[in-house]
Amino acid sequence: MRVSINDIQGMKEKGKKIPMLTAYDYATAKAVDEAGVPLILVGDSLGMVILGYESTTPVTIEEMLHHTRAVVRGSNRALIIGDMPFMTYYHTDLALENAARFIQEGEAQAVKVEGGERVADIVRKIVEWGIPVMGHIGLTPQSILALGGYKVQGKTPDTAKKLLNDARALEEAGVFSIVLEVVPGPLAHLITQRLTVPTIGIGAGSFCDGQVQVISDILGLFPDFVPKHARQYANILEVMKNAIKSYISEVSQGTFPTPSQSFPLDEEILSGL
Ligand code: KIV
């Protein structure tokens, strides 16, 4: 049985922190799921850390569905959230169609959308049609051009108030949780206290109900940039490079493959050829 949105709500109510990670493929999803992470996001960060785009805005729904299906196949227990890409939910009908695709074709159990009051009516409709929605406010990478860069959000009285209003509007519209990305810790704390639904922080301090990270950042799999809010728990790229160098050297020296990686043939058959 997969984790449900009620289980996630229950974790907030019991004061149990909610760990969440991104995953984009079968093998990684298997590792994240077997390690016990209850929420897996197939983030549109896919565009940057897997597909090598400069931002998340070029990511298409087809790319997202392809990777969402792989993550679902690799997991048994976690609740899988499909991230709706840029401009795939800018009006209600389009949003309903695309959210349904994540559930029917991607086999996800929820979707995530970026934005606050602006998307509240759209969120309400998706939820009314039976699809759980996660909100996402603060630094919303799909609006990176309008935000003018990857900067901390909600630092002034007006922008802090706007974030609180956005969070309330999303809760009122029916989201089951909200990602708070790169906002001052004390503001994230206050929003977390004022909301009934869980907040999941990324660069939003330790008082959120849960934390989310891009898996490539915590495993050292994305060489271009490590955000300030990430901690590297491993350096998998280094491990990969060392393993690949050993392979090159053994192939060059003829020490790979050995008989144990090869398939024998009877001498008789060989001599009869
Ligand atoms: O796309 C993504 O990975 C995200 C997380 C950073 C929350 O939206």
Q: What pLDDT, in 10s, does the model give residues 40-89?
A: 999 999 999 999 999 999 999 999 999 999 999 999 999 999 999 999 99
* pLDDT (tens digit per residue) in 91-121: 999 999 999 999 999 999 999 999 999 999 9
Centre of ligand 1 to C-alpha 45, Å, is 6
Residue 226 has pLDDT above 90, yes or no: no
Q: What is the pLDDT of residues 140-164, one digit of tens each?
A: 999 999 999 999 999 999 999 999 9
**CA distance linking residue 39 with residue 56, whole number of Å:** 21
Phi/psi at 265 (5° precision) = -140, 140
Kindly report the pTM of this predicted structure.
Answer: 0.96
Instruction: Give SS3 for 86.
Output: coil
The pair of structure tokens assigned to 135 is: 């909100």
Whole-number Å distance, alpha carbon 265 to ligand 1 midpoint, is 52
Average pLDDT over residues 231-248: 97
CA 243 to CA 249: how far, in whole Å? 10
- 45 CA: nearest ligand 1 atom: 1
For ligand 1, atom 5: residue with the closest CA: 43
The owner of tokens 């330790």 is 206
What domains are defined for the chain?
A: 5-235 (3.20.20.60), 239-271 (no CATH)
